[in-house]
């Protein structure tokens, strides 16, 4: 059986939130939307996001690191959110393993959010239904888009290629190769939900500093030991009142 999933490389994620904004833009205007933002500039802002990036520091000074950790629905192979749903609104597609919510059946009881150990479910305060990452199912199954664009919006938007997409059951897929070669791991495997999404671990890079790198070098623009004079410039447009 096909199991579509994301593989996220924590070694190259820079925490830019491009995945968050592209996800919000695509899904709020697509079949999953609209994704509400309630009082975004107020005292207690709330909103629906399918993808979030958590940033935290690890280690002890001076050996600390900043980790950017993107998190969304992991599309578990044994999703606990599905059997607890009293109306059958939460379901897992047999053809590609994507876990979805049928909004027409959802009554907003939040049982699925309580069952999910990853906190990946989002309650839409405006529509009073549960929502979640769909892996951009409308994009990845579209016949009108070029094949190269049939990927989740977050994957296409990532500037550092930290997000990979493919079938984790296909040993030759880009995601399976990355998991196998880079030691990819699922999140919280002790819950036995068998998350389809995987993470690639951060790799330690020791910077080598040579003694000559610590010696201050004179300005290479110096002429006969003197700093060059700044060219004289006339007034610019900003110097005049408009």
The pLDDT tens digits of the residues spanning 226-236 come to 766 777 776 66
pLDDT-based confidence at 46, cuts 50/70/90?
confident
Mean pLDDT, residues 116-128 taken together = 90
The answer to whether residue 138 sits within a structural domain is: yes
Q: What is the pLDDT of residue 86?
A: 96
> How far separated are the first and last CA of the chain, in Å rounded?
68
The answer, yes or no, to whether residue 199 has pLDDT greater than 80, is: yes
Give 98-155 as a DSSP string.
-EEE-TTT-----HHHHH-TT---EEETTTTEEE---TTHHHHT-SSS-GGG-S-HHH
The answer to whether residue 205 sits within a structural domain is: no
Q: What is the pLDDT of residue 242?
A: 46
What tokens appear for 65 in the block?
Answer: 């690191």
What tokens appear for 110 in the block?
Answer: 């939040």
What tokens appear for 114 in the block?
Answer: 């309580």
Span 63-91, pLDDT tens digits:
788 999 999 999 999 999 999 999 999 99
The answer to whether residue 206 sits within a structural domain is: no
User: How many domains does the chain divide into?
Assistant: 1
The answer, yes or no, to whether residue 94 has pLDDT greater than 60, is: yes
Q: Determine the structural domain holding residue 102 and report its residue range.
A: 4-200
Answer with the residue of higher pLDDT: 141 or 218.
Answer: 141
pTM of the model: 0.80
Residue 190: give its domain's CATH number.
3.30.70.20
Mean pLDDT, residues 109-120 taken together = 94
Answer with the residue of higher pLDDT: 12 or 216.
Answer: 12
The answer to whether residue 240 sits within a structural domain is: no
Instruction: Name the 3-class secondary structure at 55.
Output: strand
Answer with the residue of higher pLDDT: 235 or 144.
Answer: 144
The answer, yes or no, to whether residue 184 has pLDDT greater than 70, is: yes
The answer to whether residue 61 sits within a structural domain is: yes
The answer to whether residue 212 sits within a structural domain is: no
The answer to whether residue 219 sits within a structural domain is: no
Question: What percent of the chain shows pLDDT beyond 90?
Answer: 64
The answer to whether residue 44 sits within a structural domain is: yes
Q: Which of 107-116, 164-173, 195-204, 205-214 has the lowest average pLDDT?
A: 205-214
The answer, yes or no, to whether residue 18 has pLDDT greater than 80, is: yes
């Amino acid at each position: 059986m096909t199991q579509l999933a994301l593989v996220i490389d924590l070694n190259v994620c820079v925490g830019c939130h491009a995945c968050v904004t592209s996800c919000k833009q695509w899904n709020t205007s697509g079949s999953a939307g609209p994704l509400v933002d309630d009082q975004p500039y107020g005292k207690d802002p709330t909103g629906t996001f399918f993808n979030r990036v958590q940033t935290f520091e690890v280690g002890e000074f001076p050996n600390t690191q900043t980790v950017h950790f993107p998190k969304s629905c992991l599309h578990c192979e044994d999703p606990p959110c599905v059997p607890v749903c009293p109306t059958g609104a939460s379901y897992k597609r047999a053809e590609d393993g994507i876990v979805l919510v049928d909004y027409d059946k959802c009554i907003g009881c939040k049982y699925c959010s309580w069952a999910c150990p990853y906190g990946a479910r989002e309650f839409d305060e405006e529509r009073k239904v549960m929502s979640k990452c769909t892996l951009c199912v409308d994009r990845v199954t579209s016949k009108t888009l070029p094949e190269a664009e049939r990927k989740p919006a977050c994957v296409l938007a990532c500037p550092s290629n930290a997000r990979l997409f493919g079938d984790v059951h296909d040993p030759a897929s880009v995601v399976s190769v990355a998991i196998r070669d880079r030691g990819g791991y699922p999140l919280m495997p002790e819950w036995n939900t068998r998350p389809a999404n995987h993470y690639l671990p951060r790799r330690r890079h020791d910077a080598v500093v040579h003694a000559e790198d610590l010696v201050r070098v004179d300005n290479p623009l110096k002429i006969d030991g003197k700093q060059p004079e700044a060219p004289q410039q006339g007034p610019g447009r900003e110097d005049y009142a408009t």
